[in-house]
Amino acid sequence: MSTENVKPMSDLPQFEEAEPLGPQDAAFVQDLIAVLEKHGNVDRFGLCLLHGHFPLAADEILVETTDMEARTLRTSVEKASGTRHKKPSQWRFLPGVHHSRRAEFAGDPYEVVLVCDPYSGCPPRQ
């Protein structure tokens, strides 16, 4: 995974300060659902509350791992260039930016926020 031009996500609000969905967002959500339906993606994508808990360096990425037996999900920080986890599972839109800051999505107006392994039950099977 290339880390060129990766921007730390330090501009996100802390969880305590991030405003969740509320009744004032009903029209927005309906519009979003209409777009997802139009493109056949209503069962593929949803929403997540963008927020930070701690700063990430430019060469770091959040990584999701799952313990299937314990039924737990863990998020940790790894060096983007050294992680075994490659499948993006969360993205962040980049308003006013016509390309991603990450090389692997250089032509897209979003960046990867969280990655997971492409195999069922991250991390990869041994």
Is residue 92 classed exposed, middle or buried when 0-12, 13-18 and 19+ CB atoms within 10 A define those classes?
Answer: middle
The sign one gets for the Cα dihedral 58, 97, 23, 89 is negative
**Closest Cα to residue 60, out of 73, 79, 40, 84?**
79
Q: What is the mean pLDDT of the chain?
A: 79
Structure tokens at 21: 């969905």
Q: Give pLDDT tens digits for 57-94.
A: 888 888 888 888 888 888 889 898 888 877 888 888 87
pTM for the whole structure: 0.69
Tell me what pLDDT residue 52 has. Answer: 86
